[in-house]
Structure 1
Amino acid sequence: MSGALRGKVALVTGGSHGIGRATAERFARDGATVGIGYGHDEPAARETVERINTNGGRAFAVHTKLGTPGDATRFWDAFDEAGRDHVPDGQLDILVHNAAKGSFARLAALSEEEFDQVIAVNVRAPFFITKLALPRLRDGGRIINISSLAATVASPDLLAYGVSKAALNTFTLDLAVDLGPRGITVNSVAPGIVMTRNSQYLRDNAELAAQQAARVALGRLGEPDDVVSVIAFLASDEGRWVTGQVINASGGTSL
Structure 2
Amino acid sequence: MGERLAVVSGGGTGIGAAVARGLVADGYDVLIVGRRADVLLATAERIGAECGRADAVSAMTADLTDPAQLAGVVEAVGDRSVDAVVNNAGGYLGGDTATLAGTAAWWRANLDVNVLTAVLLTEALLPALRRPGGWVILLSSIAAQRGGGGPYSAAKAALHGWAYDLAGQLGKEQITVNVVSPGYVADTEFFGDRMTPEGHAARVAATLVGRVGQPDDIAAAVRYLVSPAAGYVTGQVLGVNGGSVLGR
Normalised TM-score (structure 1)? 0.86
Q: Deviations for 1:173-216, whole angstroms, at most 9, x for unmatched residues?
A: 111111001110100000011111334547x6322211111111
The partner residue of 1:61 within 34, 53, 59 is 59
Identity of aligned residues (%): 34
Contact 1:25 1:52 in 2 (8 A): yes
Matches within 5 A, 1:1-255: 7-39=3-35, 41-54=36-49, 55-57=51-53, 58-68=56-66, 70-71=67-68, 74-75=69-70, 77-81=71-75, 83=76, 87-104=77-94, 111-139=103-131, 140-155=133-148, 158-195=149-186, 196-201=188-193, 205-255=196-246
Note the aligned Cα RMSD (angstroms). 2.0
Q: 2: CA distance between counterparts of 1:25 and 1:179?
A: 27
Q: 2: CA distance between counterparts of 1:88 and 1:211?
A: 46
SS at match of 1:10: strand
SS at match of 2:130: strand
Q: 2: CA distance between counterparts of 1:78 and 1:38?
A: 12
SS at match of 1:144: strand
Contact 1:12 1:34 in 2 (8 A): yes
1:167–1:80 Cα change, 3 Å: closer
Which stretch shows the higher mean deviation, 54-63 or 11-20? 54-63
Q: 2: CA distance between counterparts of 1:143 and 1:186?
A: 5
Q: 1: CA distance between counterparts of 2:217 and 2:98?
A: 35
Q: 1: CA distance between counterparts of 2:245 and 2:85?
A: 29
How much has 1:51 moved relative to structure 2?
Answer: 1.4
Q: 1: CA distance between counterparts of 2:209 and 2:95?
A: 28
Moved over 6 A (4+): 105-110
Q: Which runs of 5+ in 2 are unaligned?
A: none
Q: 2: CA distance between counterparts of 1:107 and 1:154?
A: 18
How much has 1:117 moved relative to structure 2?
Answer: 1.4
Normalised TM-score (structure 2)? 0.89
Q: 2: CA distance between counterparts of 1:59 and 1:189?
A: 22
Q: 1: CA distance between counterparts of 2:91 and 2:199?
A: 23
**Corresponding letter in the other structure for 1:67:** T
Q: 2: CA distance between counterparts of 1:67 and 1:134?
A: 17
**Corresponding letter in the other structure for 1:42:** A
Residues matched between the structures, number: 238
Q: Which runs of 5+ in 1 are unaligned?
A: 1-5
How much has 1:254 moved relative to structure 2?
Answer: 3.9
